[in-house]
Amino acid sequence: MTDSTGTPRPLRSDIVFAFGLALICYMAWMIRDVLVLLYVSALFAVVLTPIVRLIANIRIGRNQPFKGSAVFLLLLAVAAALTAFVGLALPPVIRDLQGFARDMPGRLPGFIDKLKQVPFAQSIDTDNLSSRLQDYVSQAATYLVLSISNWAGKLFDIAMGFILTIYFILEGDRAYQWFLSFFPPGRRERLDKTLQRAEVRMGKWLLGQGSLMLILGVVSTIVYLSFHVRYAYALGVLTGLLNIIPVLGAAMSVALALLVAAIDSWAAVVGIAVFYVIYLQIENSILVPRIMTNRVGIPGLAVLVALLLGSAFAGVVGAMVSVPTAVLVSVLLDEYLVNKQAA
Return phi, psi of residue 4, to 5°.
-65, -25
Q: Is residue 164 part of a domain?
A: yes
234 and 153 in a common domain: no
160 and 259 in a common domain: no
pLDDT band at 67 (very low <50, low <70, confident <90, very high): low
| pLDDT one-digit tens code per residue, 73-98 | 777 777 777 777 777 777 776 676 66
pLDDT band at 299 (very low <50, low <70, confident <90, very high): confident
294 and 149 in a common domain: no
| pLDDT one-digit tens code per residue, 176-203 | 888 888 888 888 888 888 888 888 888 7
Domain span at 148 = 9-87+122-182
The residues, ordered by sequence, that sit 6+ positions from 296 with a Cβ below 8 Å of its Cβ are 201, 204, 205, 208, 323, 327
Q: Is the per-residue pLDDT at 334 higher than 80?
A: yes
- In the chain, the number of structural domains is 2
| pLDDT one-digit tens code per residue, 306-318 | 878 887 877 777 8
> What is the pLDDT, as a whole number, of residue 169?
83
> What is the pLDDT, as a whole number, of residue 307?
77
| pLDDT one-digit tens code per residue, 164-179 | 888 888 887 888 888 8
> What is the pLDDT, as a whole number, of residue 109?
64
203 and 137 in a common domain: no
Q: Is residue 4 part of a domain?
A: no
Q: Is residue 49 part of a domain?
A: yes
pLDDT band at 342 (very low <50, low <70, confident <90, very high): very low
202 and 157 in a common domain: no
Q: Is residue 96 part of a domain?
A: no
Has this prediction a pTM greater than 0.75?
Answer: no
Considering 182, 202, 226, which residue would you say is the last residue of a domain?
182
